[in-house]
Copies of this chain bind each other. A is one copy, B any other.
Amino acid sequence: MAITLYDLAGAEDDRRFSPYCWRVKMALKHKGLAFDTVPWRYAEKDAIAFSGSQTVPVLVDGGRAVYDSWAIATYLEEAYPSRPALFEGGEAQALGLFFSHWTARSVHVPLLRAIVLDIFGHLHEKDRAYFRESREKRFGMPLEQAGGEPKKWLAEVRGALEPVRPVLVQNQFVSGKGPGFADYILFGAFQWARSISPLRLLEPDDPVYAWRERMLDLWDGYARRAKGYPVWA
């Protein structure tokens, strides 16, 4: 049975910008599982209502629907134990859960402020009103104000990455010698940005930059081939 992923898309069907969907796509590649993606927009809540979720990623594997990127990773580990592991064991998984919450809080929050206007500019027309309204409510201010200082928020993103740097000086990947789900968690943030924003997030001499290159190279450049801006043009 084929695996299908509902994957957030922008104006064009092939502009896929959800950091959480990127986690899942990288996890599926890691496990060597074939899958199809369905472009999905915020306006299409009906299309995924069957799953119980209001948002993507939603993974359908045979008759089973799973949503939430963490739950999907856990599901894939359990359903495909003979495939390459996303977590080396229970301790790596527990620390991975911490890493996921850290990324959401310390990286995604400032990164969203740095790229929110770029996201808005790449949305499908039918998503624009919803996105503006929901995000302005969340920010408590107009979108143009929330996204008005990208350089300030970019500096915050770069500062937040500080504890990752010594790890990536010592190891090739966040997960050590090879990539694991923790790498896909952090990489999702960069792929999110790259898919809709020309902002240069990292300087080439940053160890995180070299790591991102390694991530972009995985599986014959799977993530690099996705529609987006070059990381350093």
Most B CB within 10 A of own CB, among A92, A162, A174: A92
Q: How many copies does the complex hold?
A: 2
What residues of chain B lie closer than 8 Å to A174, measured between beta carbons? 94-95, 98
Q: How large is the interface on A (under 10, 10 to 19, 20 to 34, 35 or more residues)?
A: 20 to 34
Contacts of A164 in B (CB 8 A): 98, 101
Interface majority SS on A: helix, strand, loop or mixed? helix
Alpha-carbon gap, A176 to B96, bound state (A): 10
The answer to whether A95 and B182 have CB atoms under 8 Å apart is: yes
Chain B nearest CB, measured from A143 CB (Å): 26
| Cα separation A170 to B87 with both chains bound (whole Å) | 17
A90 and B88 contact, Cβ closer than 8 Å, known pairs A97-B170, A102-B102? yes
| 4 smallest beta-carbon distances between A and B, as pairs | A101-B163, A94-B176, A88-B91, A95-B95
